[in-house]
Amino acid sequence: MDKIMKQAQKMQAQMAKVQEELAGETVEGSAGGGMVTVTANGQGDVVGVKIDPEVLGDEDAEMVEDLVLAAVNEALRRSKELAAEKMGRVTGGLGMPGLF
């Protein structure tokens, strides 16, 4: 039992380290052929939005809103994939619900 507790503590420390690393990593999502790009960190926080000035020219606001929404969703999806990949390395592929 003591061995299991030590392993659990070690895994918990490794998971905390991975969470810290994820905060420093970024992924991007884009829409409209790169006209809108959103950057998110590995913890799922959106940290940047870039909009090509051409989009703001003659286009209507609704299209820009749709492009931003699509880019944000892609960036967040990639952020979740990154976190799952990194945590999977720590947990050895164990399904640990509620971590993400």
pLDDT digits (tens, 9 = 90+) for 11-42: 888 888 888 888 888 889 888 898 888 888 88
Spatial CA neighbour of 10 closest among 93, 86, 90: 90
- Give the integer Cα–Cα distance in Å for 17 and 86: 10
- Give the integer Cα–Cα distance in Å for 85 and 87: 6
Instruction: For residue 15, give every residue at least 6 positions away whose Cβ sits within 8 Å of its Cβ, in sequence order, or none.
Output: 87, 90, 91, 99
Assign 97 a pLDDT band (cuts: 50, 70, 90).
Answer: low
Assign 100 a pLDDT band (cuts: 50, 70, 90).
Answer: very low
Instruction: For residue 95, give every residue at least 6 positions away whose Cβ sits within 8 Å of its Cβ, in sequence order, or none.
Output: none
pLDDT of residue 93: 59
Number of Cβ atoms within 10 Å of the Cβ of 55: 16
Which domains are present in the chain? 2-90 (3.30.1310.10)
